[in-house]
Amino acid sequence: PARTQTHLIDTIKPDKWKLVHVPTSLPVWISNMKFLLVVSALLAVGFAIPISEQVLEDWSVYKTAHGKVYSADEDEARLNTFLKSKTLVEEHNALYEQGKTTYTMALNKFADMTPEERRAYRGGSIKLQSSLPRSKHVSSNLTAYASIDWRNYGYVTPVKNQGGCGSCWAFATTGALEGQHFKATGQLVSLSEQQLVDCSGMNCDGGWMDTAYNYIKNNGGIEREDHTTDMDHGVLIVGYGFENGQDYWIVKNSWGPDYGEAGYIRIIRNYGNNCAITTAASYPTVRYTGLIVDDETDPIDDEDMSILGSSETGTSSSSGTTDTSAGGTNDTAVSVDPSIPKSVDWREKGYETPDTGSCHEISRKIATLKSYRRIPAKNEAAMMKAIANHGPIVCGVCASSQGFMLYHSGIFSLRHDGENCTTLNHAISLWGYVNDNNSSYFILKNSWGPAWGENGYMRLQMGENNCGVGDLCYYITVE
C-alpha cells in the first residue's frame, strides 16, 4: 500500500461558517505540482464546518449580559473577535487549574472589542515628566505595615465606570481625593470626574494626574459628582481667538487679578462644551438685562435664586448680587453672519471695567487640595509607606495586555501573561496592600465598572514592578 502523510488545509469561511483546519491523507509520492493542484481543488470545493450551536448560544448570552446589539455584518466580525478571546480565556484558565498561573480571565465587556475601542478605555500614553511643579518626597521615618486596606475604614466610594471616554486620569484623581477628604472630614463624598474632563482642557482624549491636581488646587476645590451638570458660576466672554491651531474663548472671571491670566482664562472653543459655557449664554441690550432662563429647564434651583437676589429695576443691587428679574426675557435667536471675524477682543476697544474682585458664584466646591507629591520611581517600599501613612495613592500603569483587560480574579502578574507591557497608558489608584509570607500584592481600584475583575478591583503582584505600577505614583494631602 502507498504511504500517506497528513496535511492541514485551511478552508474558506462563508456566512455563519468557521475557518478550520481539515486533516487530509495524501500520498507522499505525489509530485509538488500535483499536490498543489489537489489542494487547489479541495479549496475550490470550500467544504467547511459550521460553528456549534453551543458557541452561538454563548455568543448570544454574552451579548445580552453586556447589552450589545450589532447589525448582521458587524455581528460576524465581533463574533470572530469573541471566539479568539474565548479560546484565550479557556486556555489560560486551564493553566490556572494546573497551578501554572496565579489569576483567572473572563469574557468581560472587552472580549469582542477592537484594539481601538479598548484603547479608549485606557486614555493614551501617560508622560513621566511634565512642566508642572511638584515635590518628590516620602519620609524615611514612615512605617510600612504588613498589610493595609483603606476600604475597611470607609475611605472608598463605589467603583465607577468611565465608559469609552479616555478619562481614567480623572477617575484615579477623584478616587484618591475622595479618600483623603474622608480622612480629613469624616465625610465620604463622590466627586465630579466630569468637572475635570470639562474644565482641565483634556476632555476624553487622555490626560495627566498632575494636571488634574493643579486644576483642583488653582480652582479652589472640586464639586460633588451629583452637581456635575449644574451651572454654578457666571462669567463674561469678552472675545475669542485662535492660537497654535486651537480656538478659544477669552473669559473674564470675578476672582481677582491674581486668578489665571490677570483675572482672565482662555477656554477651548469648538471642541465640546467646556465647563458648559455655551449652555445658557445670553447677551444684554439697554432694555433687557439678565440671564435668559427657560422655566422648564432652569439649571439653578430656588435656593440658588434667593442667594443670587433680584432687583425690580433690572440692574445689579448694591450688595453685589446678580440681578435675575430683567423685566422679561428676549430669547430671539441670533443670526449667523458669515463675515464674523476670526478673532475679537473687546478689551482692546475699552469695553470692560477693572476687576472688582467680587464673586457671584454659588459655591459647591467640596474637596480642596493642599499638595501632591511624587513617590520615588520603582520603589515599592516607598509606595507602601505612602499608602500606609497617607492613604490611597494614584499610579500610572500599562494596561494594554490581554491579561489585564480580561482579568477576572486572583493575583495578576505579567510574568505569567507572556506579553511585554511597558508603556504607561492607564491611571488607577492603590487602596492597600498585603505583604506577608503567604501573599504579596497591591489592591488596585480601576474605573471600568464593578463587572471587571474582583468587583472592580485587581490584586497586582508586588516585587516585580508589574505593569510599570511603580514608575509614576503620587500621594496627596487636603486642606
Residues designated as active site: 168, 233, 253
Per DSSP, the three-state class of 292 is coil
HSE, side-chain direction, 13 A CA sphere, residue 47:
9
Strands 222-223 and 457-461: unpaired
Are 475 and 375 within 8 A, CB to CB? yes
CA distances from 266 to 260, 281, 451, 458 (A): 9, 16, 39, 40
Strands 344-345 and 393-397: unpaired
Q: What is the DSSP string of 422-437?
A: -S--EEEEEEEEEESS
CA proximity to 210, closest of 244, 176, 163: 176
Neighbouring residues of 236: CB distance < 8 A, sequence distance ≥ 6 = 251, 252, 352
For residues 269-284, b (16+ Cβ closer than 10 Å) or e, as one string?
beeeebbbbeebeeee
Q: What is the DSSP string of 67-81?
A: T----HHHHHHHHHH
CA proximity to 19, closest of 70, 83, 62, 109: 83
Q: Which amino acid is at 343?
A: S
Cell of 460: 497586582
H or E stretch at 296: none
**d(Cα 127, Cα 123) in Å, to the nearest integer?**
12
Rounded CA Rg of the chain: 29
Task: Count the residues in the chain.
Answer: 479
CA proximity to 173, closest of 163, 162, 186, 164: 162
Q: Which amino acid is at 280?
A: A
